[in-house]
Amino acid sequence: MWHGMMGTTLGVVCAGALLFSGSSALALLDGAGDPSVRLDFLITVGLAFGIGSTLTGAMFLVGEEKAD
């Protein structure tokens, strides 16, 4: 559970930093200036990081149990 919370937080922070960095590569996210596009991006990246870190944590736990 802690890995998932940590990954989700890290994902939202990284996505937020990308959105507010003023990068021209992210100009596509502005589209028509709809704020829901930015929120969707934050949620998607946050969940992707969260799922990935949860799976990583699960693999670590399984590996520790087999080592004992």
Q: Which pLDDT score, from 0 to 100, does residue 33 have?
A: 63
Please tell me the number of Cα atoms within 13 Å of 54 on its side-chain side: 12
Per-residue pLDDT of the chain (68 residues; tens, 9 = 90+): 677 778 888 888 887 777 777 665 566 666 656 677 777 777 888 888 888 888 888 888 888 777 65
- Domain span at residue 37? 2-20+28-67
Q: d(Cα 37, Cα 47) in Å, to the nearest integer?
A: 15
The structural domain count of the chain equals 1
Report helix, strand or coil for 34.
Answer: coil
Q: d(Cα 68, Cα 4) in Å, to the nearest integer?
A: 24
CB-CB contact of 46 with 8 (8 Å): yes
Q: d(Cα 51, Cα 43) in Å, to the nearest integer?
A: 12
